[in-house]
A and B are shown apart, each in its own frame.
Chain A
Amino acid sequence: MMRAAALLAAALWLAASPAWAAGTPAGTAIVNRAEVVAMIVGSPVHVVSLDDTVVVQEIVDVDVTLQSAGNVFVAAGGIDAVLTFRVTNLGNGIDTLSLVGASAGIAGDDFDPTFKKLVLDDGDGLYEPGIDPDYVPGTNDPILDANDPANDSIVVFVLNDIPGAALDGQLGRSELRADSSPGPAAPGTTIAGAGDGGVDAVIGLSGGSDTELGTYEVSTLAVAISKSSTVLDSLGGDRPEPGATITYELVVTSSGGSTASGLVVTDPMPANTSYVPGSISLNGVTQTDADDPSTDGSNFSVTNANAVTVTLGDLPGGSPAQTITFQVTID
């Protein structure tokens, strides 16, 4: 009775604990040896039990996770667009994994990327065309050792081409599947002798296989700039004569699904004109001519000689138009 209560307590405690990661390596012998001491007719007795040995079997568990944060932005018609995944051996042995990439017919997207190939990372986590090797099933299947933190996972790049007809904002999905060498099976399935060193393989919670999706998002980012001028002569007319003032207006727009980052507009002075000091404005706000980024991102003839420079920074697609004006006089 007392024992049953303790077993129940233990089961509840287990239920609250998370799924195990890599544990005791497959093939490890777990040895128990008890001893007893007693007094018999005034003499000490000491007895040691025989060793009770249990051998740890191999648990087979694999995990695939997408490394790219959120959607990966691509251009319509893009070639070799990369999705980055990490494949990890969550078991307690050495497992040879087979990888399968696919893009066709995945639910929940707008277009099918055209699957090209899988590429295995060489260890730096960065996709390097021509340096990272292409994955060839059966030839360079990753061999991951769950008991070696330096070699229990590998980064895999999934490469797709994006259809030229894909529209701005449309989504296309691609997936990576990793199968353990004992093969996918129901969790808890035991495969005799299939583990490291001939121990049994036990299929873990993943079922010996895992699949993860990644998503491409088409972005047709475009930055446009238009320029117009207004002339004001000394008589209040619009004759471009010496002494007349020309006001230039530049309008910058960004469209598409992503962000134009680090935008800087530079406009050199036309020949035979002179810049009107202090005449730069951005969206109606007067800018200084000095190079003083703490005040504003504009200057005259500092970043570029005899030119207006205005820093706009990051401009997400669809942002309000940015209007820059400055003035020159005709020499």
Chain B
Amino acid sequence: MRTIRGGILLAALLTGALATAASAEDPTIELKTTAEKQLQVKRSDGSVETVLVPAAIVVPGDVVAYTIEARNIGVENAESVVITDPIPEHTVYVPGSAEGDARILFSVDDGIRFEAPEALVVAAADGSSRAAIPADYTHIRWIFSEPLAPSAKRSVHFLTELQ
């Protein structure tokens, strides 16, 4: 009798522990990033095709393609979804390469302000300012207008050149 009661108590404790863990770790959105290397492959017919391979061996000058995938693993719609990615150190954003079914903005001040490329300016030491170039970009932001439904996923992409 004591043994059975102890068993029930243990089961209840376990259930409680699992629930706690779930609420702390279950963020309802799962975010994955993948790096791939862009390679140009010459086909037997002489045409050149650009393919992506795992970024196992990268050297300066290589183009690294980043993919960020957000998946709603909860049961409710995710509204106002915004993905932000700092451009990795030692890499330079490849102009025009950011993609995603979203409004895409960039930052040149370490993620404080985000603007469209044509609105970005960089201040010089002498107080003047100039239009930003891709090498100035520090962050990319994708702002989605549509909600992300449960089980749905969305991917965004950008390319960088390794310096």
Q: How far is the CA of A57 from the CA of B76 in the complex (A)?
A: 44
Which of the 9-residue segments A43-51, A244-252, A268-276, A285-293 touches chain B? Answer: A43-51
A54 and B64 contact, Cβ closer than 8 Å, known pairs A32-B85, A45-B28: yes
Q: Determine if A202 and B68 form an interchain contact, defined as CB atoms under 8 angstroms apart.
A: no
Interface SS, B side? strand
Q: Determine if A6 and B99 form an interchain contact, defined as CB atoms under 8 angstroms apart.
A: yes
- Is A30 in the interface zone, CB < 8 Å from B? yes
* Across-interface contacts of A8 in B (CB, < 8 A): 50
* Across-interface contacts of B27 in A (CB, < 8 A): 45-47
- Chain A positions near chain B (C-beta within 8 angstroms): 2-3, 6-11, 13-14, 19-20, 22-24, 28, 30-41, 45-50, 52, 54-59, 92, 190, 200, 202, 204
* Across-interface contacts of A32 in B (CB, < 8 A): 33, 35, 66, 85-86, 88
- Chain B positions near chain A (C-beta within 8 angstroms): 27-35, 38, 40, 50, 55, 57-61, 63-66, 68, 70, 74, 76-86, 88-91, 94-97, 99, 148, 157, 159, 161-163
Q: Determine if A30 and B81 form an interchain contact, defined as CB atoms under 8 angstroms apart.
A: no
Q: How far is the CA of A152 from the CA of B77 in the complex (A)?
A: 56
| Subset of 20 A-B contacts with CB under 8 Å | A7-B159, A10-B97, A13-B95, A22-B60, A28-B90, A30-B58, A32-B66, A33-B85, A34-B68, A36-B82, A38-B82, A39-B79, A40-B78, A41-B76, A49-B68, A52-B34, A59-B61, A190-B57, A202-B57, A202-B59
Output the least CB separation between A109 and chain B (Å): 37
Q: Determine if B86 and A33 form an interchain contact, defined as CB atoms under 8 angstroms apart.
A: yes
Q: How far is the CA of A33 from the CA of B81 in the complex (A)?
A: 17
A38 and B59 contact, Cβ closer than 8 Å, known pairs A6-B96, A13-B94: no
Q: Which residue of A lies closest to B101 (CB)?
A: A2
Output the least CB separation between B161 and chain A (Å): 7
